[in-house]
Structure 1
Amino acid sequence: MSAGVLLRLAALGVALLAGPAWAQTTACRLPGVEHEARCGSIKRPLDPAKPGGPTIVVQYAVLPAQARRPRPDPVLFLAGGPGQGAIDIAGGVERLLGRLGSRRDIVLVDLRGTGRSAALDCDDGDALASMLTEAEPSRRLASLKACRERLQKSPLGDLRFYTTTLAVQDVDAVRRALGAERIDLAGVSYGTRAAIEYQRQFPQAVRRLVLDGVAPPDMVLPAAASLDAQAALDAVLAACELEPGCRARFPALTASWATLLAGLPRQAEVTHPFTGRRQNVLLSRELVLGLVRQALYLPAWSSALPAAISEAAAGRFDGLFGLASAGIDLSGRGIAQGLHFSVICAEDVPRLAPPGEATGRDFGRALADDYAAVCRDWPRGEVPAGFYRMGRSPVAALLLSGSADPVTPPRHGEHTAAALGPLARHVVVPNAGHGTMAIGCVRDAVFRFVDAETDAAALAVDFGCVAKLPRPGAFMPPGAPR
């Protein structure tokens, strides 16, 4: 047999093994991913009621399984936000899902309005300038109004059609294009809300459900954020009091925090976190609370809050700005603000309680009032009544919560697990922040949960390793007594 015939047979064999799904994709390289991926797209009507109207191109990518005979159920990952794209964080997702990628394809979908799927981006410019704009309500409103008006002039600018309900219908179209009968659905943060809505609409298509940092559909994000951030901050202050070294170094931390808030607003000179240049800024209460809220996301960051708060109370704010900027994406692909507000204005803000509802002591209603102001003029999409009612899960569902999470703490996971019923298991990871699957032992247990042959075996997976995770000790500045 000639070499040419052998090559043609080999190519045919690859095509047969790959199946019809690969006919919809092309080879591509993704950031942070060493091996070749497959990228594809599907056209979807912006308004499902008008299939002949404007169409949006929804982009997706597949990280092929490393096994010669991969399992038929791929893992489909839904990113957070709302407003984060999935494809441009492919490298992080690949590491997050770990061993699952050895046996199963990993599918990444940029939901409509995010990433490469006609992202509804606002030009936020310089990272520090963005922080300052967001902290001044009048500037923020003006900036978002300009963004909204610009987006509405685009061909796909009808902002009523960027809701979770419509986004997951696109996701199911991707599943069908890939020829997958069922998928293992993994969502983080807002992606958990999208995953729950996907299962509500397409229960027959889900084999396993993994929700990390649970944001259920009936959670009113702008209101919950105040209580949850306050609880996380109070835990940091209390932990310092219980840690001898921290208590000795910062003996009046709670008082320092109160002094800091009482002295706002004020002018201060700060170092730009990325350029290193010094500049004068007006520090409002909203700005300082926003900096602290950002630093609470991960215990590794919040461990430095006692030092940063103490320094800020003395008029030195570089520490707070440095912590808050630690999670900023400098690649240019952050949260698509236009999509973020399209979702929140449609799904959350209409359910905001009037003033008088319980709020965090320090955080108050500032965030809720801010969202309400933005949403007054934001086009509002239709949300079906069933969206807020979580039914029983027909498959094994794993819910993960970090005990120190300032955004989606365990109370939301507990509520969601009760609604999803007996096939839902809620695991609280002690001393973990927002998102737990990056923790090694959690990642391994998630692999066993998804890989188990039956729901019963999945629900029986041992997560005992999480009990050994310590809380990081408070960061001590160089030269500080211990």
Structure 2
Amino acid sequence: MFVERACPDDVEVLVVPAHRCGVVVPEPGEPEEIFVVVVEPPVPSDAAPVLETGVDLGMTPAYGGLAPIAQRTGRRVVIVDLPGTGHSQPSLDCPEVESLGDATASDDPARLTDAVAACRARLQREGVDVAGLIPARLGEALAAVMTALDEPRWVVMGHGTTAEAGRQLALTHPERVEALVVDSLVADPGIDLDPLVIAVSDLCRAEPGCRRRYGDPEQDWRRARRDLDRRPLSVDIPHGTVRIDGATLERGVRWLTGPVEGPAALPAFLEEAATRRPGPHLQLLAATLSVAPPLCVGYVPKCETDERLVIGATLSAQCPTAAQLPGWQGVCRAWGITTDQADPTHLTGVPVLALSGRLDPFAPPELIDSHLQRLAPDAHHVELAAGGHNVLGVECTRTVRNTWLAGDLDQPPSPEPCLQDPPTFD
């Protein structure tokens, strides 16, 4: 059942096209409410609407950034606050964890796991099933939205860690999914960063002036990690000092080359770290670390302090695949969700467009193809040479998506020359 409600301020300020808000109640009498924003295209259309699952689980959808999909595709767009996040209820907020701050959690892992366990215990007392918000179960919540809005066929679109929720929906309700678009699947949140740095170094060498301005990124990377492990760097910010060691530097690389600044910023960032001269990139990392909650910077693809991260939703999303990784083991045990070792079901029979960045710190090229073979072996895979994480923020990949949706979905999208453009280091 869909119940229309007044749009909250964060929607009204950001969403310009005609829109309305409401909640979906999956079952009569159920306490769960799934918040949605319905955005209309400039011209009414009978095309299948877009069900948009947001950018990374645990984050409130970027309503202002997602609303233009209606204009770009000519389709109605329904932006969903996945259960546990944003304006959906009940929330998986964990104030017990967020109050620690990143620095405390990094210095005292036991306090972090105790806080995670305390949050889980409180939510259980309130009747919230944290295991009910893993991606396999979120697919059914999306199906409830489709039913409540009474549209027979949909284009489902997901980004980062929310993409798996969309894939689960297509697995269980393929007859209702016209196409699935996934942007920047997270293949391994703990992948070795050396190949990424080497790839950026090769691109820097090929661009006149990059080595002259920033030196050799690969050498800077090895030098900075070694030096910062022996002698951490203290970075002064307006409200204090932040300590950067080798492990924090690695988290910083994932954070920076994700949606924050992108791979083109990496040579300058590593040059600052290797020379121990904090510039704008290290200053930004330090300022973010000073106010970010635990399990944010370098743990999830998108960590921006002006957007709330719901720690409980992040844990429910990440633990099925990350519970054995360093940094996740203790918190996932405390959250009560361990690694799912079962082989995933292949998605077939639904047209899939998978978009990725060649320089994504959470899904490198050597893994993304094999990952897709396990999840959606018939997917059309499009790679953006200069892309990091969340490549639909770039006009080139949006053009690929829009053209494909308007054409024959069984055929691969037309190659766009801009997909091969290298990053510009400036």
TM-score, normalising length: structure 2? 0.83
Whether contact under 8 Å (1:163, 1:343) holds in the other structure is yes
C-alpha separation between the residues in 1 aligned to 2:317 and 2:412?
36
SS at match of 1:374: helix
Could you say if the C-alpha distance between residues 313 and 109 of structure 1 is closer, same or farther in structure 2, counting changes exceeding 3 Å? same
SS at match of 2:32: strand
Could you say if the C-alpha distance between residues 199 and 342 of structure 1 is closer, same or farther in structure 2, counting changes exceeding 3 Å? same
SS at match of 1:260: helix
Question: What aligned pairs does 1:83-482 form with structure 2 within 5 A after superposition?
Answer: 83-86=58-61, 89-95=62-68, 98-100=71-73, 103-117=74-88, 118-123=90-95, 130-136=101-107, 138=109, 139-153=111-125, 155-215=126-186, 219=187, 221-222=188-189, 225-227=190-192, 229-251=193-215, 253-265=217-229, 266=231, 268-272=233-237, 276-277=238-239, 279-298=240-259, 300-324=261-285, 325=288, 328-331=303-306, 333-345=307-319, 347-349=320-322, 352=324, 368-380=325-337, 388-392=344-348, 394-419=349-374, 423-452=378-407, 454-456=408-410, 459-473=411-425, 475=426
Tell me the amino acid that sits aligned with residue 408 of structure 1. Answer: A
SS at match of 1:179: coil
The aligned length equals 405
> What is the aligned partner in structure 2 of residue 8 from structure 1?
none
Whether contact under 8 Å (1:291, 1:320) holds in the other structure is no
SS at match of 1:99: helix
C-alpha separation between the residues in 2 aligned to 1:96 and 1:418?
28
Give the CA deviation at 1:99.
1.4
> What is the aligned partner in structure 2 of residue 357 from structure 1?
none
C-alpha separation between the residues in 2 aligned to 1:25 and 1:286?
47
Whether contact under 8 Å (2:386, 2:422) holds in the other structure is yes
> What is the aligned partner in structure 1 of residue 4 from structure 2?
25
SS at match of 2:25: strand
Give the CA deviation at 1:134.
4.9
C-alpha separation between the residues in 2 aligned to 1:422 and 1:381?
26
Give the CA deviation at 1:411.
4.0
Tell me the amino acid that sits aligned with residue 315 of structure 1. Answer: R
SS at match of 1:289: helix
> What is the aligned partner in structure 1 of residue 294 from structure 2?
none
Give the CA deviation at 1:440.
1.4
TM-score, normalising length: structure 1? 0.74
C-alpha separation between the residues in 2 aligned to 1:294 and 1:417?
24
SS at match of 1:304: helix
SS at match of 1:463: coil
Give the CA deviation at 1:156.
4.0
Whether contact under 8 Å (1:161, 1:381) holds in the other structure is no
C-alpha separation between the residues in 1 aligned to 2:158 and 2:367?
15
Whether contact under 8 Å (1:39, 1:61) holds in the other structure is yes
Asked which structure has the greater CA Rg, the reply is 1
C-alpha separation between the residues in 2 aligned to 1:67 and 1:328?
35
Could you say if the C-alpha distance between residues 157 and 253 of structure 1 is closer, same or farther in structure 2, counting changes exceeding 3 Å? same
SS at match of 1:207: strand
Q: Of 75, 80, 85, which residue of structure 1 is paired with 2:50?
A: 75
> What is the aligned partner in structure 1 of residue 293 from structure 2?
none
Give the CA deviation at 1:163.
1.4
More moved, 239-248 vs 396-405: 239-248
Give the CA deviation at 1:192.
1.6
Could you say if the C-alpha distance between residues 98 and 432 of structure 1 is closer, same or farther in structure 2, counting changes exceeding 3 Å? farther
- Runs of 5+ consecutive residues of structure 2 not aligned to the other structure: 289-296
Whether contact under 8 Å (2:52, 2:79) holds in the other structure is yes
Q: Deviations over 1:78-122 (max 9, x none)?
A: 123221233xx111012356511xx32101111111111133123
Give the CA deviation at 1:421.
6.5
Whether contact under 8 Å (2:53, 2:166) holds in the other structure is yes
C-alpha separation between the residues in 2 aligned to 1:294 and 1:149?
30
Tell me the amino acid that sits aligned with residue 372 of structure 1. Answer: Q
Give the CA deviation at 1:470.
2.8
Give the CA deviation at 1:40.
1.7
Q: Deviations over 1:236-278 (max 9, x none)?
A: 2333344442323444544433332223344544243xxx34x
Whether contact under 8 Å (2:396, 2:416) holds in the other structure is no
C-alpha separation between the residues in 1 aligned to 2:250 and 2:6?
45
C-alpha separation between the residues in 1 aligned to 2:234 and 2:376?
53
C-alpha separation between the residues in 2 aligned to 1:77 and 1:192?
10
Tell me the amino acid that sits aligned with residue 116 of structure 2. Answer: L
C-alpha separation between the residues in 2 aligned to 1:246 and 1:306?
8
Could you say if the C-alpha distance between residues 133 and 148 of structure 1 is closer, same or farther in structure 2, counting changes exceeding 3 Å? farther
C-alpha separation between the residues in 1 aligned to 2:243 and 2:260?
28
Q: Of 16, 27, 37, which residue of structure 2 is paired with 1:34?
A: 16
Question: What aligned pairs does 1:2-21 form with structure 2 within 5 A after superposition?
Answer: none
